Structure 1
Amino acid sequence: MKNQFFSKQLLAVASLMMLTVSCNNDDDFTAPPVIKGEQQLKDTLTIGKTLQLSSKLADRNNVSFEWAVDGKVVGSDSTYVFKPETRGDFKVTMTAKNGGGNVSLTYDIHTYGAYENGFFMINEGWFGHGTGTVGFYRYDTKAIEDSVFVKVNPDKDLKPESSTLEFGTIINKKLFLVSKVGGPVVVADAYSLKEEKRIPAQGGNDWRAVVGVDENQALLTSGKGIFKLNLSTMALNGQIEGVTGQVGDIVKAGGYIFALSASKGVIVINASTLAVEKTISGMVLGFAVTDDKKVWAAGGKNLISIDSNTLEVKEIPLGFQANGSWGAWHPGSITAARNDVFIAKNGSWSGGKEVYKYNGTAGSLTAPFITLTNSNILYGAGIGYDRKKNTLVVNTVNEGFGENFAINNLYLFNAESGVKTGTISFSGYYFPAVSVFHQ
Structure 2
Amino acid sequence: MRSITRKFQLLFIVAALAVAGLASCSKDNQAEVIVPQILAPGLQNGYDTIKVGDTRVISPELANVKNPTFQWLVNGVQVSTDSIYTFTPTEQGNYTISYKIISGNSMAVFYYRIKVEGKFENGFFLINEGQYGVSPGDVNFYRNGEDSVYQYVFARNNPGKTLGTTTEYGAFYNNRLYLISKQGPFVVADASTMKEVGRINQLPKDGNAFCAINSNTGLISTIDGIYPLNLQSLTLGSKIAGINGEVGGMVNTSTYIFVLSETSGLLALNPSNYSIVKNFGKADIGFAVTPDGTIWAARDTYLFNINPENLKIDTVNIPFPVYASWGFWNPGMLSASTSENAVFIGKTNSWLEEGREIYKYSVGVPSSLQTPFITIAAGTQLYGAGFRNNPVNNTLVVTSLKTPYANNNQNTLGIYDATTGALKKNVSYVGFFFPAMPAFNR
TM-score tier, shorter chain, comes to 0.7 to 0.9
| CA–CA separation in structure 2 for the residues paired with 1:60 and 1:357 | 63
| CA–CA separation in structure 1 for the residues paired with 2:276 and 2:72 | 59
What one-letter code is carried by the residue in structure 1 that aligns with 2:173?
I
| CA–CA separation in structure 2 for the residues paired with 1:26 and 1:390 | 67
Contact 1:170 1:438 in 2 (8 A): yes
1:378 equivalent to 2:382? Answer yes
**Which residue of structure 2 lines up, in the alignment, with residue 414 of structure 1?**
417
| CA–CA separation in structure 2 for the residues paired with 1:138 and 1:390 | 16
1:301-340 to 2 correspondences below 5 Å: 301-338=301-338, 339=340, 340=342
Structure 2 gaps of 5+ residues are 1-24
Return the offset for 1:22. Answer: 12
Secondary structure of 1:205's aligned partner: coil
**Which residue of structure 2 lines up, in the alignment, with residue 196 of structure 1?**
197
| CA–CA separation in structure 1 for the residues paired with 2:291 and 2:83 | 48
Cα deviations across residues 325-375 of structure 1 (Å, max 9, x unaligned)?
113111121122313322211224361211122333413322211101211
Contact 2:148 2:428 in 1 (8 A): no
**Which residue of structure 2 lines up, in the alignment, with residue 232 of structure 1?**
232
| CA–CA separation in structure 2 for the residues paired with 1:297 and 1:22 | 92
| CA–CA separation in structure 2 for the residues paired with 1:367 and 1:96 | 67
| CA–CA separation in structure 1 for the residues paired with 2:439 and 2:331 | 12
Return the offset for 1:140. Answer: 5.8
Q: 1:128 to 1:360 in 2, by over 3 A?
A: same
Q: 1:74 aligns with which of 79, 84, 109?
A: 79
Return the offset for 1:205. Answer: 2.7
Q: 1:324 to 1:105 in 2, by over 3 A?
A: same
Q: 1:118 aligns with which of 104, 117, 123?
A: 123
**% identity of equivalent residues:** 36
Secondary structure of 1:364's aligned partner: helix
Q: 1:211 to 1:24 in 2, by over 3 A?
A: farther
Contact 2:100 2:107 in 1 (8 A): no
**What is the RMSD computed on CA atoms of the aligned residues?**
3.1
Q: 2:433 aligns with which of 427, 430, 433?
A: 430
Q: 1:155 to 1:25 in 2, by over 3 A?
A: same
Cα deviations across residues 111-141 of structure 1 (Å, max 9, x unaligned)?
2222334222211122222222222223364
Q: 1:106 to 1:313 in 2, by over 3 A?
A: farther
TM-score after normalising by structure 2: 0.82
Secondary structure of 2:258's aligned partner: strand
Q: 1:30 to 1:142 in 2, by over 3 A?
A: same
Structure 1 gaps of 5+ residues are 1-20
**Which residue of structure 2 lines up, in the alignment, with residue 346 of structure 1?**
348
**Which residue of structure 2 lines up, in the alignment, with residue 264 of structure 1?**
264
Aligned residue-pair number: 411
**Greater Cα radius of gyration, structure 1 or 2:** 1
Q: 1:43 to 1:265 in 2, by over 3 A?
A: farther
| CA–CA separation in structure 2 for the residues paired with 1:342 and 1:23 | 83
1:105 equivalent to 2:111? Answer yes
**Which residue of structure 1 lines up, in the alignment, with residue 285 of structure 2?**
285
What one-letter code is carried by the residue in structure 2 that aligns with 1:189?
D
1:83 equivalent to 2:88? Answer yes
Secondary structure of 1:145's aligned partner: coil
Cα deviations across residues 182-232 of structure 1 (Å, max 9, x unaligned)?
321111212222222212137x63110011111111110011011111122
TM-score after normalising by structure 1: 0.83
Q: 1:277 to 1:101 in 2, by over 3 A?
A: same
Contact 1:397 1:405 in 2 (8 A): yes
